[in-house]
């Protein structure tokens, strides 16, 4: 993995480098084959002007490169959420809070990154734009980059380009969103860190919504300590870290559906990760978490994303068949499912979620966190997921598996982090630590210690 943000800041403080020099390094990577298709639009000259500011070294991000998912408003730019439907909308009049906070902290925005259309998938493909290839841990390069070698694999979504920009070394922070796993899934498939904070901690204003209930603004980084810094900037709060050793942590191992259908690479890496945590002194307890069995029933009418996205998209869809034809068919079918939900069913969903959260909080009492695979499979080949009705079954099967574990945390209104747990000769695999709402600081404290045990 490339040098992280914290180490690069120290390098700048010791005058071993300069912000402009580090930025040029990032721009070179962003323009290379490693980042092919990761950016929809770039703004290198603007980034250079940020890095060249005389007092930039006094800021938290010291003029280093960040990327912004094409979901967020940046003043003077058009936010299209990876669609062609919104190409004619006016440019944003102001930065959204998340972007404004990154820029105020000295972040140099390289550009807007590729994403799943309207953030509605965990796979990472988009029929309107070429799909960037996931980083391949076996070769320390993007999948498919070699003339003879790895197969190009999906980057995960919906924050696909954000993850690739961080994994390749172009950006130190990839601003993204997580509604059902859109930060943690691409983190796992690219071998980097993805932290989903408790949703209420960062404003979603100025971000095109998928689900007003579940959307979380958060970031992809190269390390947990970078994740702490990024969260402090985005949430405008100090993280209170604990120095308690791993031997004082009690972690539940979700012994249920979250372990089903693991492929051999994920199963091997996950079991190895559990053993590393035990060897470091953590207490791991298998826990069935019975309330998880009720989730499918609670969401049988489509869940929050379907109905809340339909409410937002209804005015667009009313324009007529030409507009409807411009949508990714795989996205449109899920948005339109929300039209079937009746008002009383939505209120029942809200009530059922609240009751389910109470049950989960009770089941997790006495545990510092839960550990599970971030996703049960490695990244599928892009060629198996590209648009086409003949591949729809494979796409929706993979999408369901990729979202299954991560979406639990969004329904819980909780916090979670995906940490790399693979060896250098394996495809990237993520280990997810997660907990209930507002346990962010305790989770990050645990993740800092767990990360050290999982590195190979």
Task: Give me 403's structure tokens.
Answer: 């979202």
* Structure letter (DSSP) for residue 380: P
Each residue of 94-126: b (16+ CB within 10 Å) or e? ebbbbbebbbebbbbbbbbbbbbbbbbbbbbbb
Q: What is the largest CA-CA distance in the chain?
A: 62
Residue corresponding to tokens 């770039």: 42
**Active site includes 69?**
yes
* Structure letter (DSSP) for residue 72: B
CA 195 vs. chain centroid, Å, equals 7
Selected catalytic residue, list 26, 67, 69, 372: 69
Each residue of 165-196: b (16+ CB within 10 Å) or e? bbbbbbbbbbbbbbbbbbbbbbbbbbbbbbbb
Give the residues across from 415 on adjacent strands: 435
Residue corresponding to tokens 């007092």: 55
For residues 406 and 183, the answer to whether their CB atoms sit within 8 Å is no
**Active site includes 182?**
yes
For residues 248 and 280, the answer to whether their CB atoms sit within 8 Å is no
For residues 237 and 354, the answer to whether their CB atoms sit within 8 Å is no
Selected catalytic residue, list 182, 197, 418, 445: 182
Q: Where are the alpha helices (DSSP H) in 105-237?
A: 160-167, 184-190, 224-235
Task: Measure the CA–CA gap between 44 and 48, rounded to whole angstroms.
Answer: 6
Helix 329-337 to helix 392-412 angle (10° resolution) is: 50
Residue 173: phi, psi to the nearest 5?
Answer: -130, 130
Selected catalytic residue, list 26, 158, 160, 305: 158
Q: Smallest Cα–Cα separation from 215: which of 62, 450, 4, 413?
A: 413
Give the H/E segment covering residue 174.
strand 173-177
- Cβ partners under 8 Å of residue 347, min gap 6: none
For residues 446 and 432, the answer to whether their CB atoms sit within 8 Å is no
- Cβ partners under 8 Å of residue 94, min gap 6: 73, 75, 100, 206
For residues 187 and 122, the answer to whether their CB atoms sit within 8 Å is no
Task: Measure the CA–CA gap between 9 and 94, rounded to whole angstroms.
Answer: 29
**Active site includes 158?**
yes
Query: Active-site residues: which are they?
Result: 69, 158, 182
């Amino acid at each position: 993995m490339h040098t992280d943000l914290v180490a690069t800041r120290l390098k700048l403080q010791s005058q071993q480098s300069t912000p402009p020099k580090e930025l040029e390094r990032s721009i070179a990577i962003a323009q290379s084959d490693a980042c092919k298709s990761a950016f929809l639009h770039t703004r290198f000259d603007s980034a250079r002007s940020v890095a060249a500011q005389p007092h930039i070294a006094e800021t938290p991000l010291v003029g280093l490169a960040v990327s912004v998912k094409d979901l967020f408003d940046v003043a003077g730019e058009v936010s299209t959420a990876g669609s062609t439907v919104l190409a004619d909308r006016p440019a944003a009049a102001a930065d959204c809070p998340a972007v404004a906070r990154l820029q105020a902290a000295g972040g140099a925005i390289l550009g807007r990154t590729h994403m799943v259309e309207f953030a509605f998938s965990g796979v990472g493909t988009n029929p309107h734009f070429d799909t960037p290839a996931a980083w391949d841990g076996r070769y320390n390069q993007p999948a498919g980059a070699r003339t003879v070698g790895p197969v190009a694999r999906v980057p995960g979504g919906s924050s696909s380009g954000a993850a690739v920009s961080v994994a390749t070394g172009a950006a130190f922070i990839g601003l993204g969103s997580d509604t059902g796993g859109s930060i943690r899934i691409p983190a796992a498939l690219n071998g980097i860190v993805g932290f989903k904070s408790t949703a209420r901690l960062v404003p979603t204003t100025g971000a095109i919504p998928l689900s007003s209930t579940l959307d979380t603004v958060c970031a992809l980084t190269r390390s947990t300590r970078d994740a702490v810094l990024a969260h402090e900037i985005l949430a405008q709060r100090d993280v209170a870290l604990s120095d308690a050793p791993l031997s004082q942590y009690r972690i539940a191992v979700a012994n249920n559906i979250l372990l089903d259908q693991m492929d051999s690479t994920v199963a091997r890496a996950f079991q190895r990760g559990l053993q590393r945590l035990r060897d470091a002194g953590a207490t791991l307890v298998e826990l069935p978490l019975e309330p998880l069995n009720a989730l499918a029933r609670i969401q049988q009418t489509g869940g929050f994303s379907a109905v809340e996205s339909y409410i937002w998209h209804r005015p667009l869809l009313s324009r007529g068949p030409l507009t409807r034809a411009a949508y990714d068919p795989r996205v449109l079918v899920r948005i339109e499912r929300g039209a079937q939900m009746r008002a009383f069913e939505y209120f029942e969903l809200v009530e059922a979620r609240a009751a389910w959260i109470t049950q989960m909080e009770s089941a997790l009492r006495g545990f510092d966190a839960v550990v599970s695979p971030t996703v049960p499979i490695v990244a599928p080949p892009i060629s198996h997921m590209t648009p086409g009705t003949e591949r729809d079954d494979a796409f929706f099967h993979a999408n369901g598996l990729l979202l299954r574990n991560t979406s639990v945390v969004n329904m819980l209104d909780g916090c979670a982090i995906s940490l790399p747990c693979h060896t250098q000769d394996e495809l990237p695999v993520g280990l997810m630590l997660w907990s209930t709402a507002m346990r962010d600081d305790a989770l990050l404290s645990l993740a800092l210690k767990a990360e050290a045990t999982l590195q190979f």
